[in-house]
Structure 1
Amino acid sequence: MPSDVHRVRVRRPLFSSLMSFPASCFVLTLLADIVYARSYNMTWETASVWLLTIGLLAAFVIVLVGLFQAFVQGLWPSMVSRIGYAIVLILSIFNAFVHSRDGYTSVVPTGLTLSVIAVMLLLAIELLERFATPRQELVA
């Protein structure tokens, strides 16, 4: 292989890859909340609660391990996004309490609002990670 040809290896941190599962659950929670708000079908409210719970269980473990790892290993640049994920986790815990109510108020308007805020924070964190941290390293 000629010396002027380089390969580019794309790195994606394990923490971000693992957080994609709970983030997907939170996005699907928002979609289920929207469908419930428009249809009043309790099946969507139940689906929303299950998605939120599964996302919370996964995120709780991943965020705690990620914060511990970043603190112990001194990964300060990634600490900002990990704290952002912790904020989403706390917000989603409040959202779970709102979703535990009975009837229409279990989702509309507070639960739906909290779901929108959580997804917007997830998008902001993803943009921060994408544009603020280097993802590629040049391999000779």
Structure 2
Amino acid sequence: MPIRSTDGRRRPLFPGLMTFPAACFIVTLITDIAYVRSAQMMWESFSIWLLTIGLLAAGLFVLIGLVQAFAQGRWPTMVLRVGYAIALILGLFNAFVHSRDAYTSVVPTGLTLSIATVIVLAITWLLNLATARQRVSA
């Protein structure tokens, strides 16, 4: 569902929606680092709640984005959707790891998956910028 920008051009809604789950995954990494440094269970609880909220939102938004891309034939924007789908899968595995008890819920696998998820989000964002510049110049 496209929205209008200030100059009247249509913009897709999907990238704007995905900023919320992406922020949840990034803050999960921050709370995982805080847990590693302090070993207070509060940080691990924050992490699993952020992961759960991010996964629920991302699951819905990725599904909407993939259906929208296939229905409208928006293949150049598939980089963004596939990247977010990979981050969603990593986040799901991360939630399974975070459901363990005590220190092993974060160290080392949970923290590694959080880092990998944020790296996938960053690469997806950079690839989307590169393909957006190509679409504008073409």
Mark yes or no: TM-score above 0.5: yes
Counterpart position of 2:3:
none
- Point out where structure 1 has 5 or more consecutive residues left out of the alignment: 1-6
Instruction: Using the TM superposition, name which of 119-128 and 9-18 deviates more.
Output: 9-18
Ranked by relative contact order (alpha carbons within 8 Å, sequence separation 6 or more), the top structure is 1
- Deviation of 1:134 (Å): 3.9
Preserved CA contact (<8 Å) 1:56 1:93: yes
Letter of the 1:114 counterpart: L
How far did 1:8 drift? 6.4
Corresponding residue for 2:57?
58
Residues 134, 56 of structure 1: alpha-carbon distance in 2 compared, 3 angstrom cutoff: same
**TM-score when normalising by structure 1:** 0.87
Counting only pairs closer than 5 Å after superposition, residues 38-117 of structure 1 correspond to structure 2 as: 38-117=37-116
What do residues 53-76 of structure 1 show as CA deviations (whole Å, max 9, x unaligned)? Answer: 000000000000100110111000
Give the counterpart letter for 1:64 in structure 2.
Answer: L
1:29 corresponding residue in structure 2:
28
Task: Give 1:128's aligned residue.
Answer: 127
- Tell me the alpha carbon deviations over residues 52-100 of structure 1, each in whole angstroms, 9 at most, x when there is no partner: 0000000000000100110111000011220111111011100000000
**Counterpart amino acid of 1:77?**
P
More helix by share: 2
Question: Displacement, 1:34?
Answer: 0.3
* Residue equivalent to 1:13: 12
Q: Name the aligned partner's letter for residue 59 of structure 1.
A: A
Cα deviation, residue 136, structure 1 = 9.4
SS at match of 1:133: helix
Q: Is the 8 A contact 2:79 2:127 kept in 1?
A: no
In structure 2, the partner of 1:4 is none
CA distance in 2, matches of 1:81, 1:128: 8
Mind listing any 5+ residue stretches in structure 2 that lack a counterpart?
1-5
Could you tell me how far 1:14 is from its partner in structure 2?
A: 1.3
Q: For 2:73 and 2:56, locate their aligned partners in 1 and report how far apart those are by CA, in whole Å.
A: 26
The corresponding residue for 1:3 is: none
Please identify the structure whose Cα radius of gyration is greater: 1
**Aligned-partner Cα distance in 2 for 1:117–1:89:** 11
Task: Provide the TM-score with structure 2 as the length reference.
Answer: 0.88
CA distance in 2 between counterparts of 1:68 and 1:102 reads 37
Say which SS state the counterpart of residue 108 (structure 1) adopts.
Answer: coil
Listed one character per residue, the Cα deviations across residues 96-135 of structure 1 (whole Å, up to 9, x for unaligned) are 0000000000000000000000000101111111121149
